[in-house]
Amino acid sequence: MPKDRNGNYKPKVIKNNKNDIYKIEDQVLGMYSKGMSTKDITAHKKNIYGIDMSPTLISKITDKILPLAKE
């Protein structure tokens, strides 16, 4: 996480002292369920939010959640 001398850095996606990524996972799953590829989702997150997410990470998120939908 970037730091600055005055403590003025305010993360936009995950707030200070938090590691909750469930909202990001929900967004990823929503985009994936609408047919976006892992590479498309990666590019979208980078362009809109400035988040670097690899297609492999996107796949891990979708693989973790989507098997539950098959049950």
- Tell me the pLDDT band of 25, cut-offs 50, 70 and 90: confident
pLDDT value at 31 more than 90: yes
pLDDT (tens digit per residue) in 32-71? 999 999 999 999 999 988 888 899 999 988 887 666 555 5
Q: What does the domain layout of the chain look like in residue ranges?
A: 22-70
DSSP conformation letters of 1-69: ----TTS----SSS-TT----HHHHHHHHHHHHTT--HHHHHHHHHHHH-----HHHHHHHHHHHHHHH
pTM (predicted TM-score): 0.62
pLDDT at position 58, please?
92
- Tell me the pLDDT band of 10, cut-offs 50, 70 and 90: low
